[in-house]
Homo-oligomer: A and B are copies of this chain.
Amino acid sequence: MLLHEEHFRAVENLVSEWARCIDENRVEDICTLLHPEGRYRVQSRFNADRGLPHALMDAHSPAQLRDRIKSMRLANIYEPQHYRHIVSGVQIVGGDPRALQVKSNFLVVRTLDLDGDMKLFAAGQCDDVVDAGGPEPLFRSRHFRLDSRVVETLMVIPL
């Protein structure tokens, strides 16, 4: 466990940094936090628990994720909005420094720009794998598991 304690702050900071990239509307920057062979997924808890493949977002590399964000910026039509991530309970539950298993709880509040409407948009758990053995910690895998099967309208911005 000493091993993990050593990496705890770096992992916590990586998780916070991801959230802040999105919340500060520097969404593209999350791609730099994903390992070149990393995977990013957003799935309902229902599907994840059953091993069902359907996902709201599923990128198999930072390049795919970047592509998704580009379409958000250029092609998608959606009401101007932003997210606010609240993350808690970051824990390293196993693994080794090149592949730490990390869990955390999250809640995302979405605010619509025009009318200021604010709502609970998503809540759930992240099951991540973090490589803390390189010069900078990176996600080898980020898996957002949404508690609810219902996502209001479209999910355009990654979580």
Give A contacts to B, CB under 8 Å.
5, 8-9, 13, 15-17, 19-20, 23-24, 46, 82, 84-91, 103, 105-107, 109, 111, 113, 115-120, 123-125, 147-150
A18 CB → nearest B CB, Å: 10
Which of B5, B86, B111 is in CB contact (< 8 Å) with A105? B86
Whether B148 and A118, one on each chain, are in contact in the complex, defined by CB atoms closer than 8 angstroms, is yes
CA distance A116 to B152 in the complex (A): 10
Chain B residues near A119: list those with CB within 8 A.
120
A88 CB → nearest B CB, Å: 5
As for how many copies of this chain the complex holds, the number is 3
Q: Provided the pairs A91-B20, A123-B84, A124-B84 are in contact, do residues A116 and B150 lie with their beta carbons within 8 angstroms?
A: yes
Whether A109 and B120, one on each chain, are in contact in the complex, defined by CB atoms closer than 8 angstroms, is yes
Interface centre among A17, A117, A120, A148 (most CB of B within 10 A): A148
5 tightest A-B CB contacts, nearest first: A116-B150, A16-B89, A116-B148, A111-B147, A109-B123
Chain B residues near A109: list those with CB within 8 A.
107, 120, 123, 147
Nearest to A149 among chain B residues (CB) is B116
CA distance A125 to B19 in the complex (A): 11
Chain B residues near A17: list those with CB within 8 A.
91
